[in-house]
Amino acid sequence: MNEDSIIQMKKSFRKLDERRLKLLDEPEIQELRDRVTRIREESVRNMDKLLRTARKTFTENGVEFHLAADADEACSLISGIVAGEDAVAKSKSNALSEIGLSGHLRDRGMEVVETDLGDRILQLAGESRPAHPVGPALHLSTGEIAGIVREKMGVHVADDPLEIMAAVKSDVLRRLESCSTGITGANSVAAYDGSAVIVHNEGNIGRLSLMDTHIMVFGIDRLVPTLEDAVSVVKLETVYATGTRVPSYINVISGPSKTADIEKMLIRGMYGPDRVVAIALDNGRSSAPAESLLCIGCGSCIVSCPVYGSVGNRFGYRGYLGGRGAVLRRYLDDGEGAVESGLYMCTLCRLCSEKCPVSLPTADLVEMVRAECQRKGLSRRAHREIAERIRKRGSPL
């Protein structure tokens, strides 16, 4: 991110904060926050049990269930499912960014249609890292986005959000005509019910979930016990991520499309998919500290982080931004990767934990991973890099 992008990002964050502040002190939201914290703590403690239960219930619901040990296995599973297709459609998803799915499929000659407006803008701009989990292009101004659309899509649009949206929407809908597989993440997953809960405002996930094949990829840390628990989690995520009580859409996916209206014979593939695939992703999570997995994905931490507000998405790992992203990379990748993601940028001010709906102890986790990196000698390289930045720019950031 350049300086102008960071300024624009901070403007967008201020607007988001203004909307959120109207809701966060409401007693109902405070009660919801306490309830979700208990749900997440219990779920992370019982992750293995929930995973076994989810495998059983999803399978009973007619969903193909897979556990992917790492990113390579997840990408391989998906490649096998979509083999022979020219294009696939996907939604915004940290899990899909984590495994590098778009690049994996493009390397195999397949077009990947980004259906989220922000992700499609980044795709056109040639950027791979979002500014915020639910607002990938918040660091770009309306004028910059219009310029990207004019240059990359060859259509004339004014510096107007409605015109930009209409142009991108038309282009995406045209591309979707050649897609028969939709790939999404999942915000929260109910193990005892065999259901995935996905929230969105644009309606794109509704379209993807109705394609011939629907593939859902989610970290095993997304598991919670019941559907009621999952809905509570996504409601709190929505409040903190967007400043609204509920999103436009909450999709609950519990199996393929089916009907039994002819002699009560069960037939799949009425209006929606006749094949639904759930891929639960470990990728280091089973060896990560429980506290690092409590996150509900709202992005509140980076809105309040002074370092992220200064350096932008250089601080973090793919879709996992800020200090938590640097910590998580230690387990998704390695300690050296954590250093590269900004482990030593964090000032340990703890604002992220104060603003986190589930009080994720990010600063404590940063200190723990730093101590590990120091024992391995990785911290010396980080200190040299910071010293070099100070020499070149007069600032460690």
Cα separation, 36 vs 45, in Å, equals: 14
CB neighbours of residue 109 within 10 Å: 7
Question: What's the pLDDT score for residue 82?
Answer: 97
Residues 6+ apart with CB under 8 A from 175: 87, 89, 111, 113
Closest CA to 357 of 61, 24, 74, 69: 24
Between the CA of residue 46 and those of 33, 241, 285, 286, what are the distances in Å? 20, 26, 13, 11
Q: Residues 396, 390: contact at Cβ < 8 Å?
A: yes
Contact 323, 366 (CB under 8 A): yes
Rounded distance between C-alpha atoms, residue 79 and residue 105, angstroms: 7
Q: Which residues of 157-184 are buried (b: 16+ CB within 10 A; e: fewer)?
A: beeeeebbeebbbebbeebbeebebbbb
Mapping DSSP to helix (H, G, I), strand (E, B) and coil, where does residue 180 land?
A: coil
Instruction: In the chain, list all ranges with CATH 3.40.50.10420.
Output: 3-285
**For the chain, how many helices (H) and strands (E)?**
18, 14
Sequence-distant (≥ 6) Cβ neighbours of residue 49 within 8 angstroms? none
3-state secondary structure of 349: coil
Phi (first) and psi of residue 135, to 5 degrees: -135, 75
Could you give the CA distance from residue 385 to residue 45 in angstroms, rounded to a whole number? 38
- Dihedral of the CA atoms 219, 184, 53, 333 (nearest 10)? -20
Backbone angles phi, psi at 168, to 5 degrees: -70, -40
For residue range 237-286, what is the model confidence (pLDDT) as tens digits?
999 999 999 999 999 999 999 998 998 888 888 899 999 999 999 999 99
Interatomic CA distance for residues 194 and 214, integer angstroms: 15
User: Distance between CA atoms of 143 and 124, rounded to whole angstroms?
Assistant: 15
Two tokens, residue 144: 């910059």
Q: Which two tokens stand for residue 231?
A: 């809905």
pLDDT, mean of each 10-residue run, the chain (397 residues): 84 87 91 97 97 98 97 97 96 94 95 94 87 85 94 94 96 95 98 97 95 98 98 96 93 93 88 96 95 94 92 89 93 84 93 95 95 82 58 53
Q: What CATH number labels 3-285? A: 3.40.50.10420
CA 11/CA 31 separation, integer angstroms: 30
Measured distance CA(307)–CA(270) in Å, rounded: 50
Which residues are 190's β-sheet partners? 195, 224
Q: In 10 A of CB 17, how many CB atoms?
A: 15
CA distances from 42 to 117, 179, 195, 222, 365 (A): 35, 39, 18, 12, 19
